[in-house]
Structure 1
Amino acid sequence: MIHTLLPLLCLRLCAGQDLRRDGSLPRPSLRAWPSWMVPANSDVTLRCSMPAGEVDFRDIRFALRKNNVPLNVSPDSPSGLAEFHLSDIQTSDAGEYTCEYRTGSPTRRSLPSDVLLLLVTGALPKPSLQAHQKGEVTAGENLTLQCQQPSHVTKPHMFALLKKGTSTPIQLQGPVGMETDFSLPSVTGSDTGAYSCVYYQPRAPFYASEPSDDLTISVTDSPGATPTDYTSGNLIRLGLSALIMVLMVAFLVEAWWSQRRSPGGPGPASSTHRSASCPGVGRGDDEYLVQQDLLSLYSWKPTFPASPGQDAGFLLPVRFTGPDGRTERTHLTHVGGLDKYLKLQHLTG
């Protein structure tokens, strides 16, 4: 059993075919460019393409059929693709088209493609198109467009909604009596444009009407709505501002920390000196020191003013009280340095 299956599996992989039980090849696809609904005297290209990677034969031939009748049309055939060019088409060219392909050796034929309906407009009088809403339409609203065929055309038809700038119909609808409604829900700015509609026969002879007169639809933003691009721009600006603030704070902290760690910055007080604190200041770096060896000559206690300045080099008036209660006045100069010493400038008695 295994010996029987292996050759079949190898044949399938080597040939690259997706063969059906009846020996047929997979069906191709058929597309019309620029559209399957065009005005008379237009040029249309029908493109027939094989499924990608499923068939690996060099000798491939394509065929085109209209209403199941083969057409004597020679296609351009790049690898796995055939293009059938129809020039200056007329109402008689409208119909149902399919394509297929076959291999030369061994000879096998594919299933036909799905049906492509090709319509040529202009054979029937044009319909009318109108909007249920009057005036401008606000974004987010639902818009209904009604297409109505002429009153003297009694047979119901299929309807198609067209938009200028779009090659194919954007909606298809069956009739409700002699008219139909096309619904555009939650319209946006992209729905702004010129619309028209046609009606057509989906069966032979496949007549299609002239397009209706254009109906221009203008969609405006809802009141108070902020355009998305403005909101995004504001968010970007806020983010950049926050980043700049963070960088500025980081630079300031770095500068302050570098000053503290520099040789001329503040540091711990030497054990050979006695501190004389200023009332209301005297915390950590705000503490002012008086040289112990100078004060010990007089054994006097210094008294500082309530709020001295803090810049290096300022003169600070100080009053010294001696052991006998005698008071002397002098000035101390703040010279900064490692311990922020206050140097005795002069002593008057």
Structure 2
Amino acid sequence: MKLLLVGTKKKTSLTVLSVIGLCLWQGIKAQTGLPKPDIFAEPSSVVAPGTNVTLRCSALQSTSQELLFTLSKAGSPGYPHPEKTGSEARFSLPSVKVRDAGSYSCFYSERRHAKGKSETSETLDLVVTGSLPRPSLQALPSAKVSLNGRVTLRCVRPVKPSLGSVMFMWLKAGTPEPLGRALQQSQRWANFTLPSVTVQDAGSFRCVYYEKTVQPRASEPSEPLYVCVTGEKGTRLQTPS
């Protein structure tokens, strides 16, 4: 099919060429751009004060190029890694304090090639517990659950202090990262549901909440709640070792 635009032939040709050029440039940029890295916290992103934490920024693709990684924290300047590294950099936070809590991200660039910096990683919230009163944790309808049954873990924070946006998290012993998160604007409680319980779901659970601010305060963890999984005749099923 031939498209004829009367009286605007030269202008149309230039416009079409401009659009083609823009598309080609965007395609080249997409092919040569550096993918965003992953960011992890060790031993966990939820820690008590005084814990030694390492934030790992890892490029998703291995490379022989020297990379320069930069760690960013919301409300603070970037922290370039002092050394050129391979596909990963580690940023140490010794004996963390409440002021170290916050939202972290990272990016990297290649030393020898002018490709600019990578996309920025997803955000990692580092939570340092102990500044707010502990919540309570309850299992609904019961902490004793039949195999393939359903249980809801409800985390409830105290009435005081009055807070704005609050993030709730559920933790399980032996699992370094939170099982789930829920943001609440005004409600004092949030639910986390295990819809079809398996033997592996048995164990000790806690919950924590923290403010969604640039310098967040976090609660003490709740008292532990043990979820027990039972068989058809009500016998307790042991988690395989």
Report the TM-score, using the length of structure 2 for normalisation. Answer: 0.76
| CA distance in structure 1 between the aligned counterparts of 2:140 and 2:39, rounded to whole angstroms | 37
C-alpha spacing 1:75/1:207, structure 2 compared with 1 (3 Å) = farther
DSSP 3-state at the match of 1:99: strand
8 Å CA contact 1:49, 1:81 repeated in 2: yes
The residue type paired with residue 121 of structure 2 is: S
8 Å CA contact 2:81, 2:89 repeated in 1: no
Post-superposition offset of 1:203: 2.1
| CA distance in structure 2 between the aligned counterparts of 1:204 and 1:214, rounded to whole angstroms | 29
2:55 matched to which residue of 1? 46
2:159 is aligned, of 151, 154, 160, to 151
The residue type paired with residue 220 of structure 2 is: E
2:130 matched to which residue of 1? 122
Post-superposition offset of 1:26: 2.6
Post-superposition offset of 1:135: 5.8
1:329 matched to which residue of 2? none
C-alpha spacing 1:101/1:136, structure 2 compared with 1 (3 Å) = closer
| CA distance in structure 1 between the aligned counterparts of 2:148 and 2:112, rounded to whole angstroms | 59
Q: How does 1:22-33 map to 2 (within 5 A)?
A: 25-33=34-42
Report how many residues are paired.
206
DSSP 3-state at the match of 1:69: coil
C-alpha spacing 1:126/1:146, structure 2 compared with 1 (3 Å) = same
DSSP 3-state at the match of 1:125: coil
1:188 is aligned, of 191, 194, 198, to 198
Post-superposition offset of 1:211: 0.3
1:90 matched to which residue of 2? 97
8 Å CA contact 1:75, 1:85 repeated in 2: no
1:141 is aligned, of 142, 145, 149, to 149
**1:59-113 CA distances to partner (integer Å, 9 max, x unpaired)?**
3222211125212653683x21111121101110011212122222334322222
The residue type paired with residue 133 of structure 1 is: P
8 Å CA contact 2:69, 2:81 repeated in 1: no
C-alpha spacing 1:64/1:135, structure 2 compared with 1 (3 Å) = closer
C-alpha spacing 1:76/1:90, structure 2 compared with 1 (3 Å) = farther
Structure with greater helix percent: 1
Residue ranges of structure 2 left out of the alignment (5+ in a row):
1-26
DSSP 3-state at the match of 1:92: helix
| CA distance in structure 2 between the aligned counterparts of 1:51 and 1:85, rounded to whole angstroms | 21
Q: CA RMSD in A?
A: 2.6
